[in-house]
Amino acid sequence: MTNPVLLALAAAAAALFACMFPARHARRAIAAAIGLAAMTFLALPAAAQTHDHGAQPASEQSGEASSGEEAAPTRSDPALGTSYHSATTFTLRTGIAAGRMVYIGVGGDIDGQVNPELMVHEGEIVQINLINGEGAEHDVVIDQYAARSSIVVGKNASSTFSFTANKVGEFAYFCSIAGHRLAGMEGLLRVMPGARETMDMDAADIVRDPADLPGPIGSRPTQVVRVDFETIELKGKLDDGTTYVYWTFNGKVPGPFVRVRVGDTVQVHLKNASDSVMMHSVDFHAATGPGGGADFTQTAPGDETVVTFQALKPGIYVYHCATPSVAHHITSGMYGLILVEPEGGLPQVDREFYVMQGELYTVETFGTKGDLEMDYDKLTSERPEYFLFNGAVGALTKSHPLYANAGETVRIFFGVGGPNYTSSFHVIGEIFDHVYTLGSVTTPPVTGVQTVTVPPGGATIVDFKIDRGGHYVLVDHALSRAERGLAGYLIVDGPENDAIMHAGPADQSPE
């Protein structure tokens, strides 16, 4: 259950953020407060009963014998960590409509609606953000839930509060300032019985499973490696009830993880699907030559091109479409990673994962349901609606979390497709043992790192040993972006080593 003290602290933090920001940035202040509130008290949904999901340790992928030790038992604890996506969020702005004082919906399905109906499902965590739109003092109260915002006084002042919808029915939300409810500031919260069902959509799952990557190469002679790409334009699931027409390499975001060794000759076959609308190409940052190969792979719908290059320098590199508008092709999903292993390969780890970050610039505001379209003006002025891991909201939380066992070593190949924003990659609750700075594998890795800066078109490799079972959250530590889709889960089965961390005081020294 949610601790009321933590709720009060979160609400106070939200008010503090609102005061710290200038009026013109009130909505950004709310986003920052939301991220802090989420860190404070939102509960993680129950874990899956089994966490195998076909992900094999890297040592098994490479054909080497495993240790033979039995995996730690799986767990199904409903409150294993923190979440950045558990809350169903609504934003209300106070205002005047038809001569009455009202709440006006901001964003999503309630955008522009007067005193909108807020529909949630039983058991959901509900978050309501309040923005003062005209300067009179206001609040929001749902007395049946003993839930309320702080009073906001100045124009653009803001507050946020959360509660669990554990009562089914219809409940009024209203302003408790004398006379304001009668003046029109009242709406309806409808709590539906049972869990929310995912809307059926004629849309593809475009998310690349982070465990979908080839195993290590290790020691072998150089050779010619053929890489086959098909550029596919398709309607994909962006979020529950929301779709977007993605442009992809091989139907997934990011594109396939390409793995070669230094000295290999890479022969790339790029086929553009016959039903494509656009010309496409590929630019490998790992290649030396005109356009990284893009000059030779500008491919019309239905055609195929071939480019060959030598992998001269080891490292982890981004590839992306380089057909104008390049930013448009990248934001729509056309990016991926190629690893050029050094001679002999990288040090062995137990599990490897493949994660990339990108942005979407849609006409519609974040959270809108239906088919969304790209907004070129937002793209060129760098105003994204979505920040995403592996192409979709919930890609690494709801549909494809990362799974590992306590005691294992984990490697994450992380890149930023962008096209515009730098990432501050961080795993909450872990410290990176090794970071291959800027993707270089020829210099000694940096050790003991908390957060890694990765620019658009850049990549890195991070390794760490997991010492304790539990749930860990992947974020960009520009934490407001978590409220626009950017979070992932690393779910670790195994003993929760109390000597490392436990609830309560230090009753005794760890042995």
Top-confidence residue, 86 or 257: 257
What is the number of alpha carbons within 13 Å of residue 468 lying toward its C-beta? Answer: 15
Mean pLDDT of 93-105: 95
- Closest by CA to 140, choosing from 176, 102, 190, is 176
Give pLDDT, residue 71.
35
Q: Could you report the per-residue pLDDT of 361-399, keeping only the tens digit for each?
A: 999 999 899 999 999 999 999 999 999 999 999 999 988
**Arithmetic mean of pLDDT over the chain:** 85
Residue 54 DSSP code: T
pLDDT score at 45: 37
Q: What percent of the chain has a predicted confidence (pLDDT) above 70?
A: 81
Whether residue 51 is predicted with pLDDT greater than 60 in this model: the reply is no
pLDDT of residue 86: 58
- Give 194's pLDDT tier (boundaries 50, 70, 90): confident
Q: Going from the N-terminus, what domains does the chain have, and what CATH number goes with each?
A: 4-41+84-192 (2.60.40.420), 202-498 (2.60.40.420)
**Cβ neighbours of residue 353 closer than 8 Å, sequence gap 6 or more:** 210, 211, 213, 402, 410, 411, 412, 413
CA-to-CA distance for 393 and 47, rounded, in angstroms?
A: 18
Per-residue pLDDT at 179 exceeds 60: yes
Flag whether pLDDT at 459 surpasses 60. yes
* Range picked from 20-34, 181-195, 291-305 for highest mean pLDDT: 291-305
Task: Say which residues have a Cβ less than 8 Å from residue 89's Cβ, sequence separation at least 6.
Answer: 34, 126, 127, 128, 129, 367, 483
Query: Predicted confidence band at 167 (pLDDT cuts at 50, 70, 90)?
Result: confident
The whole model's pTM is what? Answer: 0.71
280-301 residue pLDDT tens: 999 999 999 999 999 999 999 9
